[in-house]
A = this chain, B = another copy of it.
Amino acid sequence: MNPRADPADDFLLQQPWLPVCIDSCQLLVKSWFGDAEYHILLTDMQGVWEERMDAAAIERRAQELNRRLRAAVQAFFSHLREAAEPWLSGGGSGEAQMCVWRRDGAVTLKLKSELAGLPFHWEFHCGPAPVSLVCAQLVRPLLAMSRLMHRQVEELGELLARKDEEIQDYRENGATLSRERLQTDVFNKQLYTEDFIQKNLPVLRSDQSHALGFNTDLQQLYAAVTAHCPTPHKRRRPQENHGDPDWTEPGPPEPEPPAQTTVIGPDGGDPENQNPGTPVGPGGAAQVRAPAVGATRPAERQSSKLKKKKVGLFR
Residues of chain B contacted by A149 (CB below 8 angstroms): 146, 149-150, 152-153
Instruction: Out of B146, B162, B204, B244, name the residue touching A243 (CB < 8 Å).
Output: B244
A29 at interface by CB-CB < 8 Å: no
Which positions 131-157 of chain A face chain B at CB distance < 8 Å? 131-132, 134-136, 138-140, 142-153, 155-157
* A142:B132 contact, CB within 8 angstroms: no
* A184:B201 contact, CB within 8 angstroms: no
| Given A201-B224, A224-B197, A162 and B139 contact (CB-CB distance below 8 Å) | no
Minimum C-beta distance from A162 to chain B (A) = 5
Q: Could you tell me how many residues of chain A have their Cβ less than 8 Å away from some Cβ of chain B?
A: 82
Residues of chain B contacted by A167 (CB below 8 angstroms): 163, 166-167, 170
Residues of chain B contacted by A82 (CB below 8 angstroms): none
Known: A172-B178, A173-B176. 13 other contacts (CB 8 A): A46-B135, A46-B136, A146-B149, A148-B201, A162-B184, A166-B167, A166-B182, A166-B183, A167-B170, A169-B178, A173-B175, A190-B311, A243-B244
| Cα distance A45–B217 in the bound complex, in angstroms | 24
A-B contact pairs, 20 of them (CB 8 A): A46-B132, A46-B232, A47-B132, A48-B139, A131-B134, A134-B139, A139-B142, A146-B146, A146-B149, A148-B201, A150-B217, A159-B184, A159-B187, A162-B182, A166-B184, A167-B167, A167-B170, A169-B179, A190-B315, A193-B313
Residues of chain B contacted by A111 (CB below 8 angstroms): none
Which positions 208-233 of chain A face chain B at CB distance < 8 Å? 212-215, 217-218, 221, 224-225, 229, 232
| Cα distance A241–B32 in the bound complex, in angstroms | 33
Give per-residue flags for A175-195: 1 if the beta carbon is below 8 A from chain B beta carbons, else 0.
Answer: 111110011100101110110
Instruction: Out of B148, B189, B217, name the residue touching A197 (CB < 8 Å).
Output: B148
A300 at interface by CB-CB < 8 Å: no
| Cα distance A218–B275 in the bound complex, in angstroms | 61
5 tightest Cβ-Cβ pairs between the two chains A and B: A175-B175, A142-B142, A149-B149, A163-B163, A156-B156
Residues of chain B contacted by A139 (CB below 8 angstroms): 43, 45, 48, 134, 138-139, 142
Residues of chain B contacted by A134 (CB below 8 angstroms): 131, 134-135, 139
Minimum C-beta distance from A105 to chain B (A) = 9
A128 at interface by CB-CB < 8 Å: yes
A205 at interface by CB-CB < 8 Å: yes
Instruction: Out of B43, B131, B160, B166, name the residue touching A48 (CB < 8 Å).
Output: B131
| Cα distance A205–B230 in the bound complex, in angstroms | 12
* B163:A160 contact, CB within 8 angstroms: yes
Instruction: Out of B147, B201, B204, B225, name the residue touching A218 (CB < 8 Å).
Output: B147
A165 at interface by CB-CB < 8 Å: yes
Give per-residue flags for A25-56: 1 if the beta carbon is below 8 A from chain B beta carbons, else 0.
Answer: 00000000000000000010111100000000
A24 at interface by CB-CB < 8 Å: no
> Which residue among A129, A166, A313 has the maximum number of chain B CB atoms within 10 Å of its CB?
A166
